[in-house]
Amino acid sequence: MTPSTRSSPGDVLVTCGGKWVGIVLQLKAAMAAVPALRGGRVLVSSSEEATPAGAFADAAFVVPLIVDPCYIDALEALCVRERVRVVVPLIDLDVERLAPYRERFAAHGTTLVCPTPDLVATCFDKGRFAALAASEDLPVPRRVDPGELDAASYPLFYKLQKGFGSVGSGTCDSVTQARDVLARQPATVFEEVVTADEYSVDAYIARRGRCTVRVPRRRDKVVAGEVVRSQTVDVPRVSWVAARVIDALARRGLRGPLNVQLFDGDPPRIIDVNTRVGSGFVLSNMATHGRLIGSILAEASGADVEGDPDDYVRGMRLYRYYGDVFFADGRDPVAVPAGRETRTNTLAIEP
């Protein structure tokens, strides 16, 4: 991340905020402890006019889809007009799209919380990460090359080479099914099926290159790739493998938030690495008494942070639930749960 150099307080923008109300509320709390952001607003942008996260933000804005050629221009115009100081993307596609424009936004005093395009590609592209894992002797599930499908032992797990969540993933029980998958999705990765508990490790690499937050949590229930029940744990073998991944990426220049997903085992095996703020960060942020999100905002605003990665509350649980938000005329929130502080104005932003 390239820190902002603005002297006056600014706003924090969450892109593709959608339904992640918890992130919005925790960002609001964290801003109060960052002098450069104290008194600023939390904004949400989305391609949809009405979103739950937008209803809990101080303001919400409609922007084009991530894949739209006008997306970057529209987001830049929004940041300039609203004096946005920090942009926090929440999904991999958004991080991939924004990464090449870090300096362009920095010229306006806006920090994009995402790494360089090369590091984004290293983690987002399963082929590139496999090469990194091999060079660092990091444990990963055994992969099966498409040319080895006839001789492979089934079932096999498959996923997109550049995928996220559970999109484009599943299991195939025979070579016929595997070839059908490959015909529909040529950029598919096949690997052994692993039956084991899943863990996520939420981390932060400070600007000086040291990991200051590292919170392992068990993924007790996952729906469509998103955790709905989770618990912070103390499993040394999981933390050890995650620390090796974090160190390897830090040596390559990664700074900022990341998430390492693993299967338990001897040793645990790495599933994915995400270079962004994930939805489960809300649990790790609570377990560090706000230190995780506070560190992200502080360094994005030009400060330096320190911290002990083993300093977190063990046994803290997250249990997601359904809530309801109602919108008048399809866009203005008229009823939300108690605790929402500020009414939202939703505006369309064009480049």
Distance in angstroms (rounded) separating the CA atoms of residues 293 and 282: 9
Residue 80's CB is within 10 A of a number of other CB atoms, namely 14
**pLDDT attached to residue 210:** 97
Residue range(s) in the chain whose domain bears CATH number 3.40.50.20: 11-114+323-348
According to CATH, the superfamily of the domain at 120-125+196-319 is ATP-grasp fold, B domain (3.30.470.20)
Distance, in Å, from the CA atom of 282 to the CA atom of 299, rounded to the nearest integer, reads: 19
How high does pLDDT run on average in the chain?
91
> Which pLDDT score is estimated for 94?
96
Question: Are the beta carbons of 198 and 290 closer than 8 angstroms?
Answer: no
Q: Is the pLDDT of residue 202 over 60?
A: yes
DSSP element (H, E) containing 157:
strand 156-160
Q: What is the pLDDT of residue 9?
A: 67
Q: Measure the CA–CA gap between 300 and 210, rounded to whole angstroms.
A: 16
pLDDT at 115 over 70: yes
CATH of 142-192 given 3.40.50.880, 3.30.1490.20, 3.30.70.100, 3.40.640.10: 3.30.1490.20
Does the pLDDT of residue 186 top 70, yes or no? yes
Q: Where in the chain is the domain with CATH 3.30.1490.20?
A: 142-192
What is each CA distance from 316 to 10, 45, 218, 236, in whole angstroms? 32, 30, 11, 17
Segment among 158-162, 197-201, 203-207, 227-231 with least mean pLDDT? 158-162
Q: What is the pLDDT of residues 261-288, one digit of tens each?
A: 999 999 999 999 999 999 899 999 999 9
| 156, β-bridge pairs | 172, 192
- The pLDDT tens digits of the residues spanning 36-93 come to 999 999 999 999 989 999 999 999 999 999 999 999 999 999 999 999 999 999 999 9
Q: What is the mean pLDDT of residues 196-209?
A: 97
Question: Do the Cβ atoms of 202 and 278 come closer than 8 Å?
Answer: yes
CATH 3.30.470.20 segments of the chain? 120-125+196-319
Question: Domain 11-114+323-348 class?
Answer: alpha beta
Residue 200 has pLDDT above 60, yes or no: yes
Contact 203, 213 (CB under 8 A): yes
CB atoms inside a 10 Å sphere around CB 267: 15
Per-residue pLDDT at 337? 61
pLDDT mean over 12-22: 92
When comparing pLDDT for 306 and 226, which is higher? Answer: 306
